């Protein structure tokens, strides 16, 4: 599996999108998810003041990024499912200005990926489940490239500590189980060749690093990492030759 296809697969898994799509196709009238229920509950307080829900994927993404830029997490929650808003606002309290790049439709799986870039060269891909009438929380995940915010830097710090073989430092960022998994994968210090190739998620927050033919995936608690709390990386997995 290539790095690109691995990242695509991880985003699909982290957003929980495949399960959502399957449920929607099998039972269109199924009860809403917990995330949808939570968002609906706050609709009379917040979402209903924003007018009608968007009809296009790009409009959902535009409104979400505008809310992030303004630091309005309550508004952002109207457009997001799962912990997507926690990833954005945990990474940076305000997202800044973004320019639309492309919208790519995935018709078989019923979602669209809307990509933006900013002046710093960072990119963000917003995954939007196909809008349904009256639906708010359709953004199921995000993927950021080139970002250097609070959560991604936290994950980077664990990889650097592992890379130089510093177990004490690694335990500031990862649980003992996550640290043990990294050391077991490499048989010692991980080395300095690791580059982050993915950061984001939705249902699950993840960071992926690659070094030649090897890959390491970290699972992160976004709120804890953003707050600088210890051991917010709760899982680590290695794949391929180290």
Domain positions in the chain are 3-145, 150-239
CB atoms within 10 A of CB 107: 8
Question: What is 150-239's CATH number?
Answer: 3.10.450
pLDDT at position 8 is 57
Query: What CA dihedral angle connects 65, 70, 71 and 77, to 10 degrees?
Result: -50
Which is nearest to 122 in space by CA: 139, 141, 105, 143?
143
Structure token digits, residue 107? 């018709």
Structure token digits, residue 124? 């963000």
CA distances from residue 57 to 79, 105, 111, 126 in whole angstroms, order as listed = 11, 9, 8, 9
* CA gap 237, 124 in Å, rounded: 24
pLDDT at position 43 is 40
pLDDT at position 21 is 31
Which is nearest to 57 in space by CA: 141, 130, 157?
130
Sign of CA dihedral 198, 226, 237, 191: positive
pLDDT at position 202 is 92
Q: What is the pTM of this model?
A: 0.82
Query: DSSP E strands: which ranges in the chain?
Result: 99-106, 111-117, 123-129, 139-145, 195-201, 205-211, 214-220, 233-239
Q: Which CATH number fits domain 3-145: 1.10.3470, 3.40.50, 3.90.1520, 3.10.450?
A: 3.10.450
Structure token digits, residue 101? 């790049």
- Residue length of the chain: 242
**pLDDT per residue of the chain (242 residues) written in tens, 0 to 9:** 455 555 555 556 565 543 333 223 333 333 444 444 444 444 444 798 899 999 899 999 999 999 999 999 999 999 999 989 999 999 999 999 999 999 999 888 899 999 999 999 999 999 999 988 789 999 999 999 999 999 999 999 999 999 999 999 999 999 999 999 999 999 999 999 999 999 999 999 999 999 999 999 999 999 999 999 999 999 999 999 74
Cβ atoms of 205 and 87 closer than 8 Å: yes
pLDDT at position 15 is 58
Cβ atoms of 218 and 233 closer than 8 Å: yes
Structure token digits, residue 27? 């039972």
Q: Is-same-fold flag (3-145; 150-239)?
A: yes
């Amino acid at each position: 599996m290539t790095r690109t296809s691995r990242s695509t697969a991880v985003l699909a898994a982290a957003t929980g999108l495949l399960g959502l799509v399957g449920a929607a196709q099998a039972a269109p009238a199924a009860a809403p998810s917990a995330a949808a229920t939570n968002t609906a509950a706050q609709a009379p307080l917040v979402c209903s003041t924003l007018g009608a829900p968007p009809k296009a994927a790009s409009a959902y993404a535009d409104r979400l990024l505008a809310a992030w830029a303004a630091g309005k997490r309550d508004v952002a929650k109207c457009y997001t499912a799962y912990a997507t808003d926690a990833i954005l606002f945990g990474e940076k309290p305000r997202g800044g200005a973004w320019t639309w790049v492309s919208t790519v439709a995935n018709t078989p799986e019923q979602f669209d990926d809307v990509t933006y870039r900013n002046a710093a060269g960072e990119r963000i891909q917003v995954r939007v489940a196909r809008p349904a009438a009256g639906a708010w929380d359709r953004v199921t995940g995000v993927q950021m490239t080139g970002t250097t915010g609070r959560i991604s830097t936290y994950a980077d710090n664990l990889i650097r500590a592992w890379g130089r073989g510093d177990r004490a430092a690694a335990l500031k960022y990862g649980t003992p189980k996550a640290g043990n998994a990294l050391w077991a994968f490499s048989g010692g210090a991980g080395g300095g060749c690791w580059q982050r190739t993915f950061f984001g998620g939705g249902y699950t927050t993840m960071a992926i690093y690659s070094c030649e033919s090897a890959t390491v995936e970290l699972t992160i608690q976004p709120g804890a990492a953003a707050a600088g709390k210890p051991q917010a990386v709760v899982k680590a997995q290695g794949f391929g030759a180290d």
